[in-house]
Amino acid sequence: MGEPPTQRTAREMAADRERLAGRIIDLDCSIPSRALRAEKKLLEAEQETLQDRLDAYTYPVLTLPPEIVSEIFLHFLPVYPKRAPHTGLLSPITLGQICRLWREIALSTPRLWRTFGIFERQTQEEMM
């Protein structure tokens, strides 16, 4: 058999045992927190889904297909050749400020953005 461990070897072994025991305790503590994080993600996803369903009851317009909402948005514009203002309540930008879904629909409806203004800067001499 081998020789009995020296004091140094015994200390090293004791330190290793402490490190290993500490690591086991750390793992025991982290396993539940990992499971809790995974469970939290699942619960948050379910909560978001339920909130979307509740919003559909609260705001039935959110259940309309995007194509219909887009068509409704086009009726928001003044009749051609008039153009919508770039700012203010009558601007198409207002539609995109209602909610995330409306912003996505407004930005994906090119006819809402059919006109834009080009303004010429006046020089200081022209202003005088």
**Residue 73 Cα distances to 18, 81, 93, 121, 122, angstroms:** 69, 17, 11, 32, 35
Per-residue pLDDT tens over the stretch 14-73? 888 899 989 988 888 887 888 888 888 999 999 999 988 887 787 788 789 999 999 999
Query: Taking the domains of the chain in order of start, what are their residue ranges?
Result: 7-58, 60-113
* Cα 25 to Cα 115: distance, rounded to the nearest angstrom: 66
Residue 3 pLDDT grade (very low, low, confident, very high; cuts 50, 70, 90): low
The answer to whether 38 and 74 are in contact (CB under 8 A) is no
pLDDT at 93 over 60: yes
The answer to whether 74 and 109 are in contact (CB under 8 A) is yes
Tokens 């090119």 correspond to: 110
> What average pLDDT does this structure show over 87-91?
79
DSSP 91-121: SHHHHTTS-HHHHHHHHT-GGGG------PP
